[in-house]
Amino acid sequence: MLRDITLGQYYPGTSVIHRLDPRLKIVGTFIFLISLFLVRNFIGFGIAVGFLALQIAISRVPLSFIFKGLKPVFLIILFTVVVNMFMTRGEPILQWWIISLTKEGLYRAGFMGLRLVLLIIGSSLLTLTTKPISLTDGIEKLLSPFRGVGLPAHELAMMMTIALRFIPTLLEEADKIMKAQMARGADFESGNLLQRAKSLIPLLVPLFISAFRIAQDLAMAMEARCYRGGDARTRMHAMTFSWRDAVAAICLVAFVAVIVVQSHVL
């Protein structure tokens, strides 16, 4: 039921990729995604696919999980490919009525489709191998230089952490309440739109009350432990930039260099 929904889609593991510094992973992912836009031909994409495949192999995340991320955007990819295939002018291969399939169109469709797939897999590898909490920690650290200009980096990260932390709790709560009401004969599945919206009241009212209760308890517990925001806080798991991260960073720089040289110099 509800608890089967996976959010953040983290795949637990202990690989080198899992253990990399989240700051490096976030910045690295951005650089990888940007470098995909520098690619100008299929050889470049071949290099990118190889680089990504290597990362996936090292991370030991099963391929089925990697491709799951593509499912929700499958239609968008399909649309892009089809539009590019038929809307590009050039040397026609097939012609039928007003539709013409051109050589250039086929090339561009393949190019765009591959780029989209790489973009999605590249970014989902980040969320698959990084715990949501480490992600927000990484974001906090990356944003902290901007605190000078008034960006509340710690507060933002804390809000994200709390929100992420309570998604499973609230899902579980919703699941429990839903089952309790179903045991009392509530029907969440049939009826027209209005009836269905109305049938959600027995779920939503208790859920809101629970959410407020949980928030209040959490605020109280944090205050009882003297929480007072980000200044001068130390952390239990300090992020360290180790030799592993250095190696990964060098690999990434090498990859970007190869891509730039391959598509813009050669």
CB of 204 to other proteins, least distance (A): 8
DSSP structure string for 47-71: HHHHHHHHHHHHHT--HHHHHHTTG
CB nearer other proteins, residue 30 or residue 212 = 212
Distance between CA atoms of residues 249 and 260, nearest Å? 17
Burial class of residue 149 in the structure, from the number of CB atoms within 10 Å of its CB (0-12 exposed, 13-18 middle, 19+ buried): exposed
In the region spanning residues 189 to 208, those forming contacts with other proteins, defined by CB under 8 A, are: 201-202, 205-206
Q: Could you say which of 155, 172, 187, 223 contacts other proteins (CB under 8 A)?
A: 187
Q: Could you say which of 49, 182, 239, 256 contacts other proteins (CB under 8 A)?
A: 182
Sequence-distant (≥ 6) Cβ neighbours of residue 242 within 8 angstroms? 21
Work out whether 160 is an interface residue with other proteins (CB under 8 A): no
Work out whether 15 is an interface residue with other proteins (CB under 8 A): no
Distance between CA atoms of residues 230 and 151, nearest Å? 12
Work out whether 71 is an interface residue with other proteins (CB under 8 A): no
Sequence-distant (≥ 6) Cβ neighbours of residue 97 within 8 angstroms? none
Work out whether 181 is an interface residue with other proteins (CB under 8 A): yes
Work out whether 210 is an interface residue with other proteins (CB under 8 A): yes
Binding site for other proteins (CB under 8 A): 4, 11-12, 173, 176-177, 179-187, 201-202, 205-206, 209-210
